[in-house]
């Protein structure tokens, strides 16, 4: 190994490892051409040398890293960087520039994007980044010999922006006058989701009941009540961060849906002292099994049906409603709605109307219907029997005590 091979300038490096295939040559002179040959040897002597290889040893790569790396998000898609060059003795020559590596923190290592800037640049702005995303950023400097070490990683997040559209807007639990609207959070929230605004109105203007309703919620669902029966509504949902994002729209019609069960048949009512029992026959269950029923009632002077009970026990053919769930001295109409996983049936309405008893009669009827152990006569009898038993026990103890004394 020498610059100009002579008997006096040749340097040797001996390696006693027959499996070695590489070696690092150190303490070489800069800006020097070296000619390198390899010779093997054993106990008998040396082999012929390999063909010579000429290598130019120039500047070394930087051994220092950029200092005081700082970041500052300036928008939802931009981050400002600043740094200082390494110490002079760590540059190992004239710097050609800097390489900036950055990636989404959730992306795997090695997937960085790279920006290259000149050696005089110490402030730079990364553009077209993802909104409200945390980035990992490192910087290195390089010279003609190659790249120096990377700086320690710096973490920073771009600023929030308007959210993207919500996903999977759909409707569940659709009845004649209520439904549940559900959705998923935006795929790109672009910030912390503060809530949602839900807007709905009839899809076609109707002077009788058309109006626009807006409601703010913090959950990804909303139960909507007091809708009109068999009317199509248009819903829209927008997510909120620093402001509201784009809306997503969908239409839905209250009442039976595709695959709903058929209307129950022959609904009749049987009145007792304390309750009314509904009887019916089931029809076709639709595309799924009947999961239960809605029992609804309304006062004859009202247009609004109210749900008294929602059963969840599958198919049945009768159900009893206590007068305790109704107003006294009031005339009611009843209807029955079957439901499966696809939706509800059309309602079956009973022909009879029921007038509930007065409050006084209900209280008296309750007294008459109470279990025997709640009746007054049973309480009095139980108390009398208890007194007699106590007297008998006391008398027996007294007799036993006197008998023992005389013994």
pLDDT single digits (tens) 320-379:
999 989 998 899 999 999 999 999 999 999 999 999 888 777 666 554 555 656 667 777
Claim to verify: residue 136 and residue 218 sit in the same structural domain: no
Claim to verify: residue 75 and residue 128 sit in the same structural domain: yes
Residue 234 lies in a domain: yes
Which band of pLDDT confidence, cut at 50, 70 and 90, is reported for residue 229? very high
Measured between alpha carbons, how far is 309 from 293 in angstroms, rounded to an integer? 8
What is the pLDDT averaged over residues 132-148? 94
Which band of pLDDT confidence, cut at 50, 70 and 90, is reported for residue 210? low
| CATH code for position 18 | 2.60.40
**Is the whole model's pTM more than 0.75, yes or no?**
no
Measured between alpha carbons, how far is 131 from 162 in angstroms, rounded to an integer? 9
Among 253, 274, 298, give the residue marking a domain's end.
253
Determine the structural domain holding residue 89 and report its residue range: 67-157
Greatest mean pLDDT among 39-53, 68-82, 293-307, 360-374 lies in 68-82
Q: Would strands 79-84 and 123-126 be described as parallel, antiparallel, or unpaired?
A: antiparallel
**CA distance to 81, 299, 352, per residue, from 347 (Å):** 67, 16, 15
Res 406: pLDDT:
54
pLDDT single digits (tens) 268-287:
999 988 899 999 999 999 99
DSSP readout, 280-304? EE----TTS---EEEEEEEETT-S-
Claim to verify: residue 1 and residue 22 sit in the same structural domain: yes
Residue 393 lies in a domain: no
pLDDT single digits (tens) 70-119:
999 999 999 999 999 999 989 888 899 999 999 999 998 888 999 999 99
Percent of the chain with pLDDT over 70: 90
Q: Is 359 left (phi over 0), alpha (psi -120 to 50) or beta?
A: alpha
Determine the length of the chain.
Answer: 407
Closest to 138 (Cα-Cα) out of 76, 83, 62, 75: 83
């Amino acid at each position: 190994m020498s610059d100009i091979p002579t008997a006096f300038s040749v340097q040797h490096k001996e390696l006693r490892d027959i499996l070695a295939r590489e070696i690092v040559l150190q303490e070489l002179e800069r800006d020097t051409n070296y000619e390198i040959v390899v010779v093997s040897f054993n106990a008998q002597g040396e082999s012929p040398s390999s063909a010579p290889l000429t290598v130019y040893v120039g500047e070394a790569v930087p051994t220092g890293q950029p200092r005081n790396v700082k970041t500052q998000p300036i928008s939802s898609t931009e981050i400002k960087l600043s740094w200082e060059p390494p110490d002079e003795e760590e540059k190992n020559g004239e710097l050609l520039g800097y390489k900036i590596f950055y990636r989404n923190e959730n992306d795997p290592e090695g997937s960085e994007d790279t920006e290259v800037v000149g050696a005089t640049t110490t402030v730079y702005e990364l553009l077209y980044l993802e909104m409200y995303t945390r980035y990992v950023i490192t910087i290195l400097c390089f010279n003609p010999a190659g790249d120096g070490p990377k700086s320690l990683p710096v973490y920073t997040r771009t600023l929030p922006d308007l959210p993207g559209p919500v996903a999977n807007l759909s409707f569940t639990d659709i009845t004649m006058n209520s439904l549940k609207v559900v959705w998923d959070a935006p795929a790109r929230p672009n910030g912390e989701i503060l809530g949602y605004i839900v807007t709905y109105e009839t899809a076609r203007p109707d002077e009788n009941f058309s109006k626009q309703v807006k409601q703010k919620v913090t959950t990804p669902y909303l139960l909507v009540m007091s809708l009109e029966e068999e009317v199509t509504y248009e819903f829209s949902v927008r997510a909120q961060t620093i402001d509201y994002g784009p809306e997503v729209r969908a239409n839905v019609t209250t009442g039976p849906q595709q695959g709903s069960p058929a209307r129950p048949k022959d609904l009749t009512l049987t009145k007792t002292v304390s309750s009314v029992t509904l009887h019916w026959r089931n029809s076709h269950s639709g595309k799924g099994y009947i999961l239960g029923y809605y029992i609804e009632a309304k006062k004859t002077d009202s247009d609004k049906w109210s749900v008294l009970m929602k059963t969840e026990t599958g198919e049945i053919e009768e159900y009893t409603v206590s007068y305790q769930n109704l107003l006294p001295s009031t005339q009611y109409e009843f209807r029955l709605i079957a439901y499966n996983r696809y939706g509800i049936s059309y309602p079956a309405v009973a022909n009879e109307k029921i007038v509930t008893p007065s409050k006084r009669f209900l209280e008296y009827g309750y007294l008459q219907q109470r279990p025997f152990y709640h009746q007054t006569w049973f309480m009095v009898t139980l108390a009398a029997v208890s007194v007699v038993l106590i007297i008998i026990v006391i008398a027996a103890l007294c007799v036993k005590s006197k008998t023992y004394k005389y013994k």
